[in-house]
Chains A and B, each alone.
Chain A
Amino acid sequence: MSDALVDDLDKRVLVYLRDGRFFLGYLRSFDQYGNLTLEDATERVVVNDEAFADIPRGLQVFRGENVVLFGAVDSEQRELEFLRKLRRVTEEEIRRMEQAVAEDHAALRRRERLEWPAFDDGAL
């Protein structure tokens, strides 16, 4: 297995974490626990499949247990395709959009609780 992983060293990889976050960066090291080190890492935050922001994170180590999958993204074509579909925005803008989505969800939950009080948390 680790023989195969050596192929990814020095490549730009995508790391998908258990909390749903995505990081892109150059794979510099890994070990038998699945711990990873990315250089020039950026966190890619996507909201509603329509906008995204790349947040610079520098040199970052990931503890193996948090990683779902990772793999090379050595293709400009895929990146261009992604850029065609989603709009790049600033970090402030993406945080505002995240906030708006979270508030929408909260409002929906409040409405559900009014309409279906029996299903309210703790009632069942």
Chain B
Amino acid sequence: MFFTAILRTLIGEDITVELKNDLSIRGRLEAVDQYLNVRLAQVQVHTAAAPPVLQLLHGSCTVRGSCIRYIHLPVEKVDTELLQEATRRVAAATKETQTMK
């Protein structure tokens, strides 16, 4: 859920998604869910040897989370210090609920 939350803060930004089949897709992030399925607008395929059929895509495109290898985020849009602190808090909270059980 944590990573979904991070990506949700980046909705409206341009991101690049690299797939497990070496395809690189860039687009404006429109939506993301708990499986890291992402929906991109104005998609552009960056890989040189990309199948020509992908040029037919027009508008938004949905990428399945399980096929994603990397997501490249715009570094200036992510407060990594805040991210680190939030991670500490979530980890501490998780530990707390575990010891309560």
Contacts and interface: CB of A to CB of B under 8 A. Distances in A.
Contact of B32 (A1, A68, A78): A1
Main secondary structure of the interface of B (DSSP, over half): mixed
Given A1-B31, A22-B51, A82 B56 contact: yes
Interface of B: 19, 21, 23, 25, 30-33, 37, 39, 43, 51-64, 66-67
A14 interface: yes
Contacts of B58: 71-75, 78
Which 5 A-B residue pairings sit nearest by Cβ, starting from the closest? A71-B61, A1-B33, A75-B58, A4-B31, A73-B56
Main secondary structure of the interface of A (DSSP, over half): mixed
Interface of A: 1-5, 7-8, 14, 16, 18, 20, 22, 24, 34, 44, 46, 49, 52, 64-65, 67-75, 78-79, 81-82, 85-86
A4 to B, nearest CB: 4
